[in-house]
């Protein structure tokens, strides 16, 4: 009876929460959503905990969160506690996906949520509510892939420009690529864009637009070739019907995933009619030249012979014709060089092979004409250019038999009659025997003995004159700033040019240190690579802050003080990052 009374007393006195079980769960706003919609994920618990670890959210992009909320309410003497972490996600691909397990530590125990399945479908139609920010964003933002041509020949260049159109009433605040196009069956090169805002008619209405990405493509086979779409995740500031205290319109953040759509290019094969036998895929408009550095020389001297193609076309995608030479001219493998500039209109410049020739015998040696064929897509015909015959006059040297000409693929060289060719070599010498002198006690002995002592003295002298680590660090910082940020500082008077130069400097620094290409660049990948290189989180934050300011500056005016502050932040970020990089 006494034990029963004690149990009843404890039940009445102790708070009910002491006996409450831990409830830690994951809740989502939808089980099924379109790829153009957002998903709200909430991780809630009924007891306070520490060391919350969210899932990796594979297949999603986190556009907001975590936002944390805590509720601690007493009603009629009873305590009700709840705590939650909320994320907003956008899906990256269609199909079945899973929100993984989150974990938290409560009273020394680790609790995990149950995985939640989600199905991602094709894009859904957003209800036409003119007051809905999502509807306004869908009607005000478009991504279009523009092709310079719809039908080309193999190896004829085309340009694809991805234009991001947005209405003047919305303001893009952040743009991140989701799916970068992979140009299968194309040779491609990205052309840097200043991404300045321009105006253009689109769908019968004036839009702002930015040329987000520009790429030159050279198709490598005939047929209907698909051009993969580009997908972007865009953060937009959309106006609402609310006003703030000062009467200004209030904007809300909306996330949109947009895709340019798939395009198809028709690639024509080369015509068979009139096709030269030596045609090797050159397409464009070219000139052809073969020349030598000298036409007369002595045996055993050398000269350079160059085979060069200049003009506009696929200069990096074909090989030059080989040079045939007489067997009496020793020919070395050619040295290839190119000066090619790739713009939106394609490649332009020159490529050449430089041969080193060394004549062995006296005489006149002809270099036969060389033919070069290419296809002109404008005239839709083949053209063949042929060089003039060159004659190499060897003035002095041993005489040889009648020379023969090597075929371009020849490996062996004919050996001529060399009777009497080596009579110029002296047969009598004036060599004298070397006297054997004792080593110990000689001048060389003492010199070698003193040499380490002299080196040691020089080491201490140089070390005493070497500047301290602080001075070295200052010079190193100055070199980095001059190398990557010098142009941005010069453009401080022009906000637009300053931020374009500053962003290019930061990208060039990352490309130099991380060995990545511009097409592979994203903030998430950059942060992962920098962390792997040992860069601290605060330093990465500084770097990301400056990049974000550069992007925002495209859409909002900037003051002199903000430019100076961003410049100093960039200097500090690069300097700290360079110290923290692992070798």
Local structure of residue 417 (DSSP, 8 states): -
238 closest CA partner among 129, 163, 123, 92: 129
What value, to the nearest 5°, has the Cα angle with vertex 508 and ends 577 and 61?
A: 75
Domains of the chain: 13-121 (2.60.40.10), 133-268 (2.60.40), 284-394 (2.60.40.740), 469-580 (no CATH)
Please name which of 575, 580, 463, 477 lies closest in space to residue 533, comparing C-alpha atoms: 580
Q: Which helix (H) or strand (E) holds 531?
A: helix 523-532
Task: Measure Cα distances from 449 to 151, 409, 446, 501 in Å.
Answer: 80, 59, 5, 58
Supply the pLDDT for residue 219.
93
Cβ(569)–Cβ(545) under 8 Å?
A: yes
Bridge pairing between strands 231-243 and 171-179? antiparallel
Q: For residue 285, what pLDDT is reported?
A: 95
CB 158 within 8 A of CB 215: no
What DSSP element (H or E) covers 526? helix 523-532
**According to the model, what pLDDT value does residue 180 have?**
79
Contacts 24+ apart (CB under 8 A), 549-553: 549/499, 550/499, 550/502, 550/503, 550/506, 551/174, 551/175, 551/503, 552/173, 553/495, 553/496, 553/499
CA dist 165 and 167 (Å) reads: 7
- Burial bucket for residue 245 (CB in 10 Å: 0-12, 13-18, 19+): exposed
Please report, for residues 62, 151, 194, 213, 265, the alpha-carbon distance to residue 159 in angstroms, rounded to integers and kept in the order given: 33, 12, 17, 10, 11
The burial class, CB within 10 Å (0-12 / 13-18 / 19+), for 125 is: exposed
E-only strand ranges, 5-113:
24-28, 32-34, 39-45, 50-53, 60-75, 78-91, 95-99, 103-106, 109-112
H or E element in which residue 499 lies: helix 495-514
How many CB atoms are located within 10 Å of the residue 305 CB? 22
Q: For 132-278, list the strands marked E by DSSP.
A: 141-147, 151-153, 158-166, 171-179, 186-191, 198-202, 205-219, 223-227, 231-243, 249-259, 263-268
Q: Can you read off the two tokens belonging to residue 242?
A: 């609310």
Residue 40, number of CB atoms within 10 A of its CB:
14
Phi, psi of 305 (to 5 degrees): -120, 130
Order across the sheet with 24-28: list the strands. 24-28, 39-45, 78-91, 60-75
Residue 576's pLDDT is 83
Cα end-to-end span (Å), the chain: 76
How far is it, in rounded angstroms, from Cα 484 to Cα 577?
13
- Beta strand 335-343 pairing with 346-359: antiparallel
Give the model's pLDDT for residue 520. 56
Structure tokens at 115: 């995985």
**pLDDT in single tens digits along all 583 residues of the chain:** 555 555 555 454 444 444 458 888 888 888 888 887 788 899 888 888 888 889 888 888 887 778 888 877 776 667 778 888 888 888 888 888 888 888 888 888 888 888 899 998 887 766 666 667 777 887 888 899 989 998 999 999 999 999 999 888 888 888 888 777 888 889 999 988 888 888 888 888 888 998 889 999 999 999 999 888 888 888 888 887 777 667 777 778 887 888 887 788 999 999 999 999 999 999 999 999 999 999 899 988 899 999 999 999 999 999 999 999 988 889 999 999 999 999 988 999 999 999 999 998 898 999 999 999 999 999 999 999 999 999 999 988 887 655 555 545 443 344 444 444 455 556 666 767 666 666 666 777 778 888 888 888 888 888 766 555 555 544 554 565 566 677 777 777 777 778 888 887 887 777 777 766 655 567 777 788 888 888 888 888 888 888 888 877 766 666 777 788 888 888 888 888 878 777 5
Cα(30)–Cα(121) distance, integer angstroms: 12
Cβ-based neighbours of 410, under 8 Å, separated by 6 or more: none
Q: What is the torsion angle, in degrees rounded to the nearest 10, for the CA atoms of residue 419, residue 422, residue 428 and residue 434?
A: -140
Query: Cα 372 from chain centroid?
Result: 35
Give the Cα separation of 223 and 542 in Å (integer). 49
Contact 328, 400 (CB under 8 A): yes
How many C-beta atoms surround the C-beta of residue 193 within 10 A? 14
Q: CA-to-CA distance for 370 and 288, rounded, in angstroms?
A: 10
Give pLDDT, residue 416.
47
Distances (CA, A) of 358 to 57, 298, 393, 398, 423: 67, 9, 12, 13, 21
């Amino acid at each position: 009876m006494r034990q029963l009374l004690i149990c009843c007393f404890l039940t009445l006195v102790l708070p009910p929460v002491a006996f409450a079980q831990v409830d830690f769960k994951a809740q989502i706003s939808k089980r099924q959503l379109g790829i153009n919609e957002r998903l709200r994920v909430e991780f809630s618990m009924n007891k306070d905990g520490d060391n919350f670890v969210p899932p990796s959210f594979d297949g999603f992009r986190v556009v907001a969160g975590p936002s944390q909320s805590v509720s601690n309410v007493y009603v009629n003497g009873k305590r009700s506690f709840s705590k939650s972490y909320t994320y907003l996600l956008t899906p990256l691909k269609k199909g079945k996906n899973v929100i993984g397990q989150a974990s938290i530590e409560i009273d020394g125990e680790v609790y995990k949520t149950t995985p939640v399945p989600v199905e991602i479908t094709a894009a859904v139609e957003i209800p036409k509510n003119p007051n809905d920010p999502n509807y306004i964003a869908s009607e005000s933002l478009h991504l279009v892939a523009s092709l310079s041509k719809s039908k080309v020949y193999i190896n004829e260049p085309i340009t694809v420009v991805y234009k991001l159109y947005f209405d003047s009433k919305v303001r893009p605040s952040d743009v991140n690529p989701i799916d970068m196009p992979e140009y299968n069956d194309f040779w491609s090169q990205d052309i840097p864009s200043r991404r300045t805002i321009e105006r253009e008619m689109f769908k019968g209405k004036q839009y702002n637009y930015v040329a987000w990405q520009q790429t030159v493509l050279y198709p490598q086979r005939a047929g209907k070739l698909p051009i993969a779409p580009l997908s972007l995740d865009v953060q937009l500031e959309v106006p609402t019907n609310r006003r703030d205290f000062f009467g200004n319109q209030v904007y809300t953040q909306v996330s949109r995933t947009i895709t340019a759509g798939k395009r198809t290019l028709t690639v024509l094969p080369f015509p068979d009619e009139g096709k030269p036998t030596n045609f090797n895929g050159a397409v464009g408009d070219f000139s052809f030249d073969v020349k030598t550095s000298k036409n007369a020389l002595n045996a055993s001297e050398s000269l350079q012979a160059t085979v060069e193609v200049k003009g506009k076309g696929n200069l990096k995608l074909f090989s030059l014709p080989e040079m045939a030479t007489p067997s009496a001219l020793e020919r070395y493998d050619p040295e290839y060089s190119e000066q090619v500039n790739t713009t939106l209109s394609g490649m332009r410049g020159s490529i050449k092979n430089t041969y080193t020739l060394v004549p062995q015998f006296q005489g006149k040696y002809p270099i036969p004409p060389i033919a070069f064929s290419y296809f002109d897509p404008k005239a839709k015909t083949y053209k063949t250019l042929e060089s003039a015959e060159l004659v190499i006059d060897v003035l002095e040297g041993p005489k040889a038999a009648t020379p023969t000409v090597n075929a371009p693929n020849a490996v062996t060289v004919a050996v001529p009659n060399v009777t009497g060719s080596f009579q110029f070599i002296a047969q009598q010498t004036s060599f004298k025997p070397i006297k054997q002198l004792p080593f110990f006690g000689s001048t060389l002995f003492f010199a070698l003995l003193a040499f380490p002592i002299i080196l040691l003295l020089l080491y201490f002298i140089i070390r005493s004159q070497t500047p301290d680590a602080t001075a070295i660090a200052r010079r190193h910082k100055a070199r980095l700033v001059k190398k990557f940020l010098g142009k941005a500082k010069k453009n401080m008077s022009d906000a637009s040019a300053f931020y374009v130069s500053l962003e290019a400097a930061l990208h060039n620094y990352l490309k130099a240190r991380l060995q990545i290409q511009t097409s592979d660049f994203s903030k998430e990948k950059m942060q992962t690579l920098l962390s792997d290189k040992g860069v601290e989180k605060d330093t990465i934050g500084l770097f990301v802050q400056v990049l974000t300011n550069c992007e925002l500056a495209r859409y909002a005016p900037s003051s002199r003080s903000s430019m100076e502050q961003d410049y100093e932040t960039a200097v500090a970020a690069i300097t700290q990052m360079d110290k923290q990089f692992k070798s």
